[in-house]
A and B are shown apart, each in its own frame.
Chain A
């Protein structure tokens, strides 16, 4: 664990003992995991390995900026250190693309955490199975109460989240949550553990149509050192989750590297290229990006996003926008109000509001409440974010989707 900014402090004797048997081969599928005939993973990894961002010059970046349609090579240049001094030009260009494709529309949603049980041991995450926090799982009637309360704020899009415990939060349980959500919301997204394509098909039938899977990092060696136990440890199964979701009939898929875990330029490049390849293979699939940076968690407030400062974050967001002008880009409450308000004015198109990353936080009468996944930086209500958008001459949009 060479990176002190993450979390070796909770690697105690008991965990080290546990690791002897649970630190399984992260490249070998576990029983029951669907294996896709797909070369996307190999293509992404070889392109990422070949990506030498130091070789790009200012003129490469300028050339990339003038291309109408950005190639993967242009994307690589826009993510390089040589692009940073041109950040103003890049942001201007990104803003033009955003307005062309989305006008002044900004989509609003909120995440709903329905369970924080987790079988994984991801050392940077507050939900990890060794972290001593209050665990909880909402019952169907509690999910309904929470959703009713959220719907009252005017939102029409919900993102259902669970910790990654297949045994606690089963596919059937998540499916029930989707069915309840159908009563209150027009758009239902999922951010759950990766499943097989037939399970995605089932969840789609229950009402979900968007699946986001954070790859965290595309560097498999690094990935292995951060995800020490659980099914999440299986690197290729996670990388191929979006493709399984599309094959299962989901309308859109979201991608995200957790910036700051590893070399963020390589991770951002791999994320964009992964989305690019999938969109070429499945042209109907809608593409979304999230751009999370590391945040402090309960029992470890030293976690920080290292070298991904605000300019670098903006660079990544703009590079995604210019490479895939039609993609949805979300800025989460990991970022503060100031940063989010500026990002939606440049390249982001989706913003959450009224957010809590804990369990049972939207109504009072929930039996057992669960602790947060991470500390948020923007605690504004739906109404506050709505007003902020209007003041920014942006048009809040609650739904742009119809379930058919």
Chain B
């Protein structure tokens, strides 16, 4: 299948790109490279960074045809996340919202419990809720039941570039939930993004990996290709892989024909 026909739908919007740009670290060069070279269609927007009227407003850096995904970063509990989400809708950032509830300043790990509470409230208010979470199956099911539009498990702590540390648990989410699974945080290299897509993730989100690359446009393009390669591999059905050792020359079940 050509990747352009391989659409995915989120909150009633169709997307062909499976790369979402995070905006924790941003610059005009980064946004430009990700739109032109990585062909991203969704860019997250930390509402706390949107400084209307101030210098270096991130909104000035994002063209109109890009879907903004406001996030609730800065929220330390469900109540704060709900307030930030409502504020984002009020200022015209649409119905999409990525829930981030963090009250750990060291590792920035999401609080699943508070995230579920916020998801429930905001889904009822008509938001397209995209919760960032620690990949725990029970919590992911609770998020689904609360009305989440997708699940965004972390691969590794934000900004760590450590890759798919939680790979096995993300795979469980992909296998068990019918919602799109978007791997968010920790992706450090194109190969890791490729691997997440091979596993069946619907999309990958990254920021630091590109923002801190030596050549930002080249790295943005590398991510696009890696994500497309991983997606194609997933769609084609991965071939037989031999996990350990070689296959035995004498079949173990040979005796059955004796």
A residues in contact (CB < 8 Å) with B? 99-105, 154-156, 186, 251-252, 279, 283-287, 324, 326, 382, 386, 395-402, 404
| Residues in chain A near residue B56, CB distance under 8 A | 386, 395-398
Can you list 7 A-B pairs with a CB-CB distance of less than 8 A? A100-B161, A103-B207, A105-B25, A286-B105, A398-B51, A401-B48, A402-B48
- Bound together, the chains give a CA A401 to CA B72 distance in angstroms of 11
- Most A CB atoms within 10 A — which of B24, B51, B87, B207? B51
Tell me if B15 counts as interface (CB < 8 A to partner A).
Answer: no
Interface of A (DSSP majority class): loop
Tell me if B103 counts as interface (CB < 8 A to partner A).
Answer: yes
Closest A-chain residue to B27, C-beta based? A395
Q: Which of B76-84, B119-127, B170-178, B193-201 contacts A (4 or more CB under 8 A)?
A: B76-84
B27 A100 Cβ-Cβ under 8 A:
no
- Most A CB atoms within 10 A — which of B76, B104, B105? B105
Supposing A100-B161, A154-B54 touch, asked if A402 and B47 sit within 8 A by C-beta, the answer is: yes
Tell me if B33 counts as interface (CB < 8 A to partner A).
Answer: no
Residue from A252, A382, A396, A400 within 8 A of B48 (CB atoms): A400
**Number of chain B residues close to chain A: CB under 8 A:** 32
B49 A399 Cβ-Cβ under 8 A:
yes
Could you tell me the distance in whole angstroms from the C-beta of A101 to the nearest C-beta in chain B?
A: 5
- Most B CB atoms within 10 A — which of A99, A399, A401? A399
- Top 4 A-B pairs, shortest CB-CB distance: A103-B25, A284-B103, A154-B55, A402-B48
| Residues in chain B near residue A279, CB distance under 8 A | 105-106
Closest A-chain residue to B47, C-beta based? A402
Residue from A285, A382, A399 within 8 A of B51 (CB atoms): A399
Closest A-chain residue to B28, C-beta based? A395
- Bound together, the chains give a CA A285 to CA B51 distance in angstroms of 23
- Bound together, the chains give a CA A178 to CA B80 distance in angstroms of 21
Could you tell me the distance in whole angstroms from the C-beta of A93 to the nearest C-beta in chain B?
A: 15
- Bound together, the chains give a CA A20 to CA B181 distance in angstroms of 71
A104 B25 Cβ-Cβ under 8 A:
yes
| Residues in chain A near residue B211, CB distance under 8 A | 103-104
| Residues in chain A near residue B3, CB distance under 8 A | none
A102 B25 Cβ-Cβ under 8 A:
yes
Tell me if B26 counts as interface (CB < 8 A to partner A).
Answer: yes
| Residues in chain A near residue B27, CB distance under 8 A | 103-104, 395
B75 A398 Cβ-Cβ under 8 A:
no
Supposing A395-B27, A399-B51 touch, asked if A326 and B105 sit within 8 A by C-beta, the answer is: yes
Tell me if B94 counts as interface (CB < 8 A to partner A).
Answer: no
Supposing A103-B24, A284-B105 touch, asked if A404 and B212 sit within 8 A by C-beta, the answer is: no
| Residues in chain A near residue B76, CB distance under 8 A | 251, 284
Could you tell me the distance in whole angstroms from the C-beta of B51 to the nearest C-beta in chain A?
A: 4
Which residues of chain B from 97 to 118 have a CB within 8 Å of any chain A CB? 103-106, 108
| Residues in chain A near residue B160, CB distance under 8 A | 100
Which residues of chain B from 205 to 228 have a CB within 8 Å of any chain A CB? 207-208, 211-212
Closest B-chain residue to A402, C-beta based? B48
B83 A283 Cβ-Cβ under 8 A:
no
Which residues of chain B from 148 to 206 have a CB within 8 Å of any chain A CB? 159-161
| Residues in chain A near residue B47, CB distance under 8 A | 402
